[in-house]
């Protein structure tokens, strides 16, 4: 069932030129991330030139060097890997959690729904930035805690959408029939309702990924960044100091890479929503 939806979605995306290009771009980023996990990306700590050289026509110095002579281009690639990791980790936390809570709230109603509603109202009442910083303090620094913190603020949207869908489907004939036949609630949720709310989750996934990547930049700027390695947020933070000296290439390179990823995610997310939403079209 999920496979069917995925195939239908991708198919409709592929047919139109603009989403097709964006899908390809996303594919490239996924590839970069995979290469990174397999340790096949070029070494970001190696010195490839002098301090703060301008760009030149070699792979390593495509975007020039930073203060320690390291390749900006390689670091941007590593930043892409970090971005994809953060995006995927956050999404992997948000979607299952939000969907599960949404299902529970929509299906069981009553006290369960009231509790979940209370929970999300409390979370939503605290400004995102404060919640994320507080969680980072409590859980220590690092990639995982940052993803957890971003996830803590993003699950509400997914939960509410799924809950809405569940409420819509709860009284449909096929569900009532299954219940009459004595099928247990969990099985009904998984086999009947879940596939129908999956499209919501898929569309939200793109958005969560996108916002996680953007959030990382701001959080790094506020000092809550990752520990090892590098990220786009770190690159931008460092590049901002050099701008006054007319050293613009690290900033331009990082912004371009971020732009390509987020733009593609936006287009693909929009297209997915159009393709999967039964109302539109």
Partner 1 sequence: MQRRRRLILTAPLGALVAGAAVSPARAAEPKVLSIARTEQFDSLDPTRQFDIGSSTLVEMLYSKLLAYAYLERPYKLVPDLLLAMPELSADKLTYACTLRTGVRFRDDPCFKGGQGRELNTDDVLYMLRRYADARINNKSWFAMEGAVVGLDAYRDATRKAAPDADLEQIEIAGFRKVDAHRFTIKLTRDNPLFLFALAISPTAVVPAEAVRMYKDQFSVHPVGTGPFELNAVERKGTLRFTRYTRYHGVYPSVGAPGDAEKGLLKDAGKKLPLADVVEMPLIEEAQPAALKFLRGELDWRGLDRANFSKMIVAQGDGDFKLAAEYASKFSIYWAPSQNVSYTGINMKDPLLGKNKALRQALARLFDTRGRIKVLLNGRGHALKSIVPLGLPGNENETGAIGIEYDVPAAKRLVAAAGFPDGRGLPVLTVSYGGSDADTRNAFDFLKARAAAAGVQLKVEYMDNPTFIKSIEGSNFQIASYGWVADYADAENFYQLLYSKNTAPGPNFPAFANAAYDRAYEASRHMSNGPQRYAHFKTMNDIVRDEVPVILEINSLVFGITQRWVKNFKRNFLQPEYMFLDVDMAAKRKGLS
Partner 2 sequence: MTAYILRRLLLAVPTVLGVALLTFLLFNAFGPDPVRTALGQHATPEAIANLRQQWGLDRSLPTQFVGFLGQIVSFDYGKSFVTGDDLGTQLRAGALVSLSVVAPPFLAGGAISIGLALFIARHREGLVDRGARVLFIAGMSVSALVYVLVMQYVLAFKLGWFPISGYESGTAALRYLALPWLVLLVVQLGPDIRLYRTLFLDEAAADYTRTARAKGASDGRVMWRHILPNAWIPIITTNVTTIPFLILGSFLMERFFSIPGIGSLTIDALSRGDLPILKAVTILSALALVVFNLISDLLYAWADPRVRLG
List contacts with partner 1 (CB under 8 A): 45, 51, 67-68, 137, 140-141, 223, 225, 227-228, 234, 237-238, 240-245
Determine phi and psi for 159, rounding to 5 degrees: -60, -45
94 binds, among partner 2, partner 1, none (CB under 5 to 8 A by kind): none
**Are 65 and 53 spatial neighbours (Cβ–Cβ below 8 Å)?**
yes
Distance CA 205, CA 276 (A): 13
Total residues interacting with partner 2, rule: CB under 8 A: 37
Q: Does 25 bind partner 2 (CB under 8 A)?
A: no
Integer angstrom CA distances of residue 127 from 94, 133, 158, 193, 212: 18, 10, 18, 33, 16
* CA 205 to the chain's CA centroid: 7
3 binds, among partner 2, partner 1, none (CB under 5 to 8 A by kind): none
**Could you say whether residue 105 binds partner 2 (CB under 8 A)?**
no
Residue closer to partner 2, measured from CB, 46 or 138: 138
Nearer to partner 1, 11 or 223 (CB): 223
> Rounded to the nearest whole angstrom, what is the least distance from the CB of residue 232 to partner 2 in the complex?
8
Task: Give the C-alpha distances (Å, rounded to integers) separating 97 from 92, 114, 124, 158, 193.
Answer: 9, 17, 16, 9, 16
In degrees, to the nearest 5, what angle opens at C-alpha 124 toward C-alphas 146 and 153? 20
138 binds, among partner 1, partner 2, none (CB under 5 to 8 A by kind): partner 2
Nearer to partner 2, 35 or 124 (CB): 124
Other beta carbons within 10 angstroms of residue 281's beta carbon come to 8
Q: How far is the CB of 213 from partner 1 (least distance, A)?
A: 19
Candidate list 67, 126, 177, 186; residue touching partner 2; CB under 8 A: 126
Footprint of partner 2 on this chain (CB under 8 A)?
118-119, 121-127, 129-131, 133-135, 137-138, 214, 217-218, 221-223, 236, 240, 243-244, 251, 255, 258-259, 261-263, 266-267, 270
């Amino acid at each position: 069932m999920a496979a069917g939806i995925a195939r239908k979605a991708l198919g409709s995306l592929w047919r139109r030129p603009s989403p097709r290009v964006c899908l390809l771009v996303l594919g490239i980023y996924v590839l970069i991330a995979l290469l990174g996990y397999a340790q096949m990306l070029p070494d970001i700590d190696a010195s490839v030139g002098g301090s703060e050289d301008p760009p030149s026509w070699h792979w390593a110095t495509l975007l020039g060097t930073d203060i320690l002579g390291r390749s900006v281009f390689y670091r941007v690639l590593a930043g892409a890997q970090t971005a994809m990791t953060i995006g995927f980790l956050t999404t992997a936390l948000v979607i299952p959690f939000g969907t599960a809570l949404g299902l529970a709230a929509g299906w069981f109603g009553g006290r369960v729904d009231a509790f979940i509603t209370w929970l999300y109202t409390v979370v939503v009442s605290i400004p995102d930035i404060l919640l994320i910083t507080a969680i980072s303090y409590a859980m220590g620094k690092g990639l995982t805690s940052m993803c957890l913190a971003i996830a803590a603020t993003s699950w509400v949207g997914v939960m509410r959408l799924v809950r809405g869908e569940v409420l819509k489907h709860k009284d449909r004939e096929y569900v009532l029939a299954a219940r009459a036949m004595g099928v247990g609630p969990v099985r009904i949720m998984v086999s009947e309702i879940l596939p129908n709310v999956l499209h919501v989750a898929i569309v939200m996934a793109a958005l969560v990924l996108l916002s996680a990547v953007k959030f990382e930049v701001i959080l790094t700027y506020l000092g809550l960044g990752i520990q090892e390695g590098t990220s786009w947020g770190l690159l931008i933070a460092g590049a901002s100091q050099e701008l006054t000296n007319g050293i613009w290439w690290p900033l331009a390179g990082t912004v371009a890479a971020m732009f390509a990823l987020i733009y593609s995610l936006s287009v693909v997310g929009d297209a997915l929503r159009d393709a999967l939403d039964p109302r539109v079209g």
